[in-house]
Amino acid sequence: MGRSRDLPIPALEKSMRTAVPEFPEARLQELADRYADAVAAKRRRVWLGSAVLIAAALAAGWMGDVDFRKFAENFWRFPAYFASIAPTFSFSSAWNDLSEWLWGLPRWTLLLGDTLLIAYMGTLSGAICGFVLCFLASANLVRSRTIVFVTRRLLEFCRTVPDIVFALIFVLAFGLGPLPGVLAIAIHTTGALGKQFAEVVENIDNKPIEGVAASGGSWIQIVRFGAVPQVLSNFVSYALLRFEINVRGAAVMGFVGAGGIGQDLIEAVRKFYYSDVSAILLLIIVTVMLFDFITERVRHRLLGLEGTGA
């Protein structure tokens, strides 16, 4: 390489021509055919995939009542809705307009605080339940297949049924208010975190576990001293991520009467209090973004610490 760079251009061209081996025509043809075959096969696969996709999309469109005419006729309502919920501001009285728009700020702030507390309490109780259950769902810690299987199915059930469905049922059992919201989020979080925790536990280093077992530790001691120190920072990171998701979830819990700001939002939407809708939506979005930002910071710090082997 270093040598050829020094050669003058014509000599370089000559050396390149000899460096590239030239196949006899028949061999070349065979290679070209095989290349064409490979390309054609790939192209066929792509066409087949697209055909299946389009067929599925058409079937789903028929099933889901997709109506482009209705869509085209009514689409103007979508931007119009945003235009109508937008607050009115005039230059001369901007401050008055602002205070009028956010007239319910004290009440909404209180409700947002409730929403955050619902998310927090649900996440904490769910994380504790998930923490207890995840060790039972890990095949590397539990010998009995039955316990692992049953725990996993239980977690799957808690995860698959959406939290708002639990909230609907709990509102009937516990009455209106934040309690059903907290419980619904707790159960859903148990399922979601239990699964993620169990995946973390199954990927840990087995040597500390064997060490504790070899020196006569009980199952609890194996978990406490062999597994937990390895997984704790990952657990906290997942729990924070789940808290972020639960803040969003708690904001709509009020739709079914389970506390928080959702109650006011759906009332404003249903009763066409347009400027209230935009004010509440804005508050929710700002809160969600703020908590996204905070939890992301904390998570990066946690995982960073873990990366340095602390």
Partner 1 sequence: MKSFSSDAQAAIVERYPSHFRPDWWSRAKITIGLGTAVALFLFGIAQLDIPFHRLSDGMARLGGFLRLMLPPDPGSWAEALKYLNALGETVSIAFLGTLGGALLALPVALLAARNVVANRIVHFFSRRSLDTIRGVDILIWALIWVGVVGLGPFAGILAVICSDFGTFGKLFSEAIEAADKNPAEGVRSAGGNHLHGVRFGLLPQVFPILLSQVLYYFESNTRSATIIGIVGAGGIGLQLAEQIRVLEWQKVSFLILLILIAVSAIDWISGKLRFAIIGRRAVA
Q: State the minimum distance, in angstroms, from the CB of residue 95 to partner 1.
A: 25
User: What is the C-alpha to C-alpha distance for residues 273 and 282, in angstroms, rounded to an integer?
Assistant: 14
What amino acid is encoded at 23 in this protein? F
Output 27 or 70, the one with its CB closest to partner 1.
Answer: 70
Binding region for partner 1 (CB under 8 A) out of 29-37, 101-109, 265-273, 294-302: 265-273
Under 8 Å CB-to-CB from 34, ≥6 apart: which residues? none
CA dihedral 302, 239, 284, 188 (to 10 degrees): 170
**Looking at 105, 147, 162, 218, which residue binds partner 1 (CB under 8 A)?**
162
Q: State the minimum distance, in angstroms, from the CB of residue 92 to partner 1.
A: 29
**Looking at 36, 51, 55, 56, which residue binds partner 1 (CB under 8 A)?**
56
**Looking at 168, 213, 228, 241, which residue binds partner 1 (CB under 8 A)?**
168
DSSP tag of 260:
S
**Is residue 75 within the footprint of partner 1 (CB under 8 A)?**
yes
Output 203 or 206, the one with its CB closest to partner 1.
Answer: 203
Binding region for partner 1 (CB under 8 A) out of 27-35, 90-98, 133-141, 282-290: 282-290
CA dihedral 212, 214, 219, 221 (to 10 degrees): -30
Q: Based on the number of CB atoms within 10 Å of its own CB, is 46 exposed (0-12), middle (13-18) or buried (19 or more)?
A: exposed
Give the x-and-dash track for 202-241 against partner 1 (CB under 8 A).
Answer: -------------xx-------------------------
Q: State the minimum distance, in angstroms, from the CB of residue 187 to partner 1.
A: 11
Output 118 or 279, the one with its CB closest to partner 1.
Answer: 118
Q: State the minimum distance, in angstroms, from the CB of residue 211 to partner 1.
A: 12
Output 2 or 216, the one with its CB closest to partner 1.
Answer: 216
The distance between the two most distant Cα atoms of the chain, rounded to a whole number of Å, is 90
DSSP tag of 214:
H
Q: State the minimum distance, in angstroms, from the CB of residue 74 to partner 1.
A: 5
**Is residue 113 within the footprint of partner 1 (CB under 8 A)?**
yes
Within 13 Å and on the Cβ side, how many CA atoms surround 272? 2
- Tell the residue number behind the tokens 């790939």, with chain if given: 42
| 108: helix, strand or coil | helix
**Is residue 284 within the footprint of partner 1 (CB under 8 A)?**
yes
Within 13 Å and on the Cβ side, how many CA atoms surround 142? 19
Q: Based on the number of CB atoms within 10 Å of its own CB, is 20 exposed (0-12), middle (13-18) or buried (19 or more)?
A: exposed
User: What is the C-alpha to C-alpha distance for residues 310 and 295, in angstroms, rounded to an integer?
Assistant: 20
Residues that bind partner 1 (CB under 8 A): 53, 56-57, 59-61, 63-67, 70-71, 74-75, 77-78, 81, 113-114, 117-118, 120-121, 124, 156-157, 160-162, 164-165, 168-170, 172-175, 177-179, 182, 215-216, 248-249, 251-252, 255-256, 259, 265-266, 269, 281, 284-285, 288-289, 292
